[in-house]
């Protein structure tokens, strides 16, 4: 099992935040199925203000740069991605061309 922490920003506005939360309360079954197909075992998204933090658990051998592009091979997932992208923007510390910015793990209680 591999784990990842990633961050992203929502665009400014209370209505954007509420729309994002509403969409995720009713996530499309096809999107969830597609995530599982590429090897995502667990995904949690947390929100503070406009900042999103995503925690992922994936199968061994998962590589975000290889697996995430595969999501877009599905038309229904592309529709979801376009909808989400309209509400999001990269975090200020993201690298050029990076959407969800990978975070560095600095502590793991289970490793202690």
Residues of the chain short of pLDDT 70, as ranges, are none
Q: Where are the domains of the chain?
A: 2-91
Q: Strand 40-48 relative to strand 101-102: parallel, antiparallel, unpaired? A: unpaired
pLDDT for the residue 97: 87
The arrangement of secondary structure in 2-91, i.e. its CATH architecture, is: 2-Layer Sandwich (3.30)
In terms of Cβ atoms closer than 10 Å to its own Cβ (0-12, 13-18, 19+), residue 90 is: middle
C-alpha to C-alpha distance for 51 and 91, rounded to whole angstroms: 8
pLDDT for the residue 74: 93
pTM of the model: 0.90
């Amino acid at each position: 099992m591999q784990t990842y922490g990633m961050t992203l920003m929502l665009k400014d506005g209370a209505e954007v935040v509420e729309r994002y939360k509403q969409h995720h309360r009713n996530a499309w079954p096809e999107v969830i199925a597609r995530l599982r197909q590429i090897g995502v075992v667990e995904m949690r998204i947390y929100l503070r203000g406009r900042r999103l933090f995503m925690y992922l658990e994936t199968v061994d051998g998962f590589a975000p740069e290889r697996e995430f592009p595969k999501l877009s091979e599905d038309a229904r997932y592309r529709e979801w991605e376009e909808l989400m992208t309209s509400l999001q923007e990269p975090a200020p510390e993201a690298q050029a061309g990076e959407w969800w910015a990978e975070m560095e793990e600095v502590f793991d209680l289970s490793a202690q």
